[in-house]
């Protein structure tokens, strides 16, 4: 049966609009629920003890956490580099990929609009190198793929090893959590094999999107896990020593908190990430946990956000001055 093109467009547009509305409702619901949970979790916290716990934290541990954050952001630059090489732009040097990565991620996450702001910043960085809007869209897709492959793999491994880790967050029994972990790992493995066997692509002839080959997917998984592992370790070293939180539990809770914050679209997962961490790592030393969370927030979110804003503003000012000079 012949279906008019206009009808197809309207139907697709309507479906997309419904999905966007559903996504917005889910985001608002998650944010509202976690704000209530966070408010409840902080009721009995004594903030003078939180300040004292921050003061007692070893400078060595703070420095180690800062170093791990730097490693995480350093590995994050490989997301863009891998994407550039995949679309055939070997001429774009690493320092440009690093600049695009370090400016786009902290700023976009800081404002809570990753899908909108990150491509704009990338385009501002890459367009002088001759990259088109479609090239930037491809890069955004491929870097997102690296993020999700790394997250799902790390979550699957940590949850398989510590199935009760996020029981306080999702209220599922350990056996079911281990089944979820197995499904995640099998899904990643299936995607790896699927891309390894044959070159894969989708889209149209004019706007093709080529998926990475199997070896590149394996590299993406490795880079993504390394990035998340370094970030989780930064949080881990800041935790009070008497909490006795296992590493796999911390990683599982950290990734769950990260994904919930991502879905909520709140700036840097504000409120959502924090509530998930407080619930998932619940213990007697609540003040020490809040202190660790505040220090991690400063090192991983606030400081990179300020540095990225300054760097991107400096690049834009330099380009504007250069353009004015050449007129």
Span 213-241, mean pLDDT?
A: 94
DSSP 203: E
Residue ranges per structural domain of the chain: 58-320
139 or 44, which is more confident? 139
E strands, the chain, in order: 201-203, 208-210
Contact (Cβ atoms closer than 8 angstroms) between residue 244 and residue 174: no
Is this prediction's pTM over 0.75? yes
For 302-307, the CB contacts below 8 A with 24+ separation are 304/69, 304/73, 304/102, 304/106, 305/106, 305/107, 305/109, 305/110, 305/268, 307/102, 307/106
Does 164 have pLDDT greater than 60? yes
Q: How far apart are CA 138 and CA 85, in angstroms?
A: 11
The terminus-to-terminus CA distance of the chain in angstroms comes to 59
pLDDT class of 92 with cuts at 50, 70, 90: very high
Could you read off the pLDDT of 144-155 as tens digits, one per residue?
999 999 999 999
pLDDT averaged over every residue in the chain: 85
Span 148-177, mean pLDDT?
A: 91
Q: How far apart are CA 135 and CA 245, in angstroms?
A: 43
SS3 percent helix, strand, coil of the chain, rounded to 5, is: 80, 0, 15
What is residue 228's predicted lDDT score, i.e. its pLDDT?
Answer: 93
**Number of CB atoms found within 10 A of residue 4's CB:** 8
Does 246 have pLDDT greater than 60? yes
pLDDT class of 163 with cuts at 50, 70, 90: very high
What is residue 200's predicted lDDT score, i.e. its pLDDT?
Answer: 79
Q: How far apart are CA 265 and CA 261, in angstroms?
A: 7
DSSP strand pairing (208-210 vs 201-203): antiparallel
Q: For the purposes of burial, counting CB atoms within 10 Å of the CB of 190, is it exposed (0-12), middle (13-18) or buried (19 or more)?
A: exposed
φ, ψ at 231 (rounded to 5°): -65, -45
Could you read off the pLDDT of 114-123 as tens digits, one per residue?
888 999 999 9
What is residue 174's predicted lDDT score, i.e. its pLDDT?
Answer: 92
Q: Which of 138-147, 193-202, 279-288 has the lowest mean pLDDT?
A: 279-288
Could you read off the pLDDT of 259-311 as tens digits, one per residue?
888 877 777 777 788 888 888 887 667 788 889 999 999 999 999 999 999 99
Does 85 have pLDDT greater than 70? yes
């Amino acid at each position: 049966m012949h279906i008019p093109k206009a009808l197809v467009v309207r139907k697709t547009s309507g479906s997309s609009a419904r999905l966007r509305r559903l996504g917005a409702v889910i985001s608002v619901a998650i944010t509202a629920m976690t704000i209530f949970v966070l408010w409840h979790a902080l009721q009995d916290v004594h903030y003078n003890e939180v300040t004292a716990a921050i003061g007692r934290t070893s400078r060595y541990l703070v420095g180690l956490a800062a170093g791990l954050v730097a490693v995480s952001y350093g590995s994050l630059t490989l997301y863009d580099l891998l994407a550039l090489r995949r679309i055939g732009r070997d001429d774009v040097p690493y320092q440009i990929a690093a600049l695009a990565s370090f400016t786009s991620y902290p700023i976009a996450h800081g404002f809570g609009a990753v899908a909108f702001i990150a491509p704009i910043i990338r385009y501002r960085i890459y367009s002088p190198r001759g990259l088109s809007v479609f090239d930037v869209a491809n890069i955004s897709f491929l870097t997102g793929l690296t993020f999700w492959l790394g997250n799902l793999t790390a979550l699957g491994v940590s949850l398989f090893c510590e199935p009760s880790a996020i029981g306080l967050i999702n209220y599922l029994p350990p056996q079911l959590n281990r089944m979820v972990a197995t499904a995640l790992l099998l899904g990643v493995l299936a995607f790896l094999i699927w891309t390894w066997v044959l070159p894969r692509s989708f889209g149209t002839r004019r706007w093709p999107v080529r998926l990475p080959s199997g070896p590149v997917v394996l590299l993406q998984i490795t880079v993504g896990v390394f990035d998340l592992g370094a970030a989780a370790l930064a949080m881990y070293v800041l935790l009070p020593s008497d909490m006795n939180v296992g590493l796999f539990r911390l990683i599982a809770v950290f990734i769950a908190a990260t994904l919930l914050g991502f879905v909520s679209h709140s700036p840097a997962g504000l409120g959502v990430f924090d509530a998930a961490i407080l619930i998932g790592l619940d213990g007697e030393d609540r003040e020490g946990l809040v202190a660790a969370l505040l220090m991690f927030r400063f090192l991983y979110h606030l400081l990179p956000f300020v540095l990225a804003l300054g760097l991107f503003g400096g690049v834009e000012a330099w380009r504007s001055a250069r353009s004015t000079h050449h007129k």
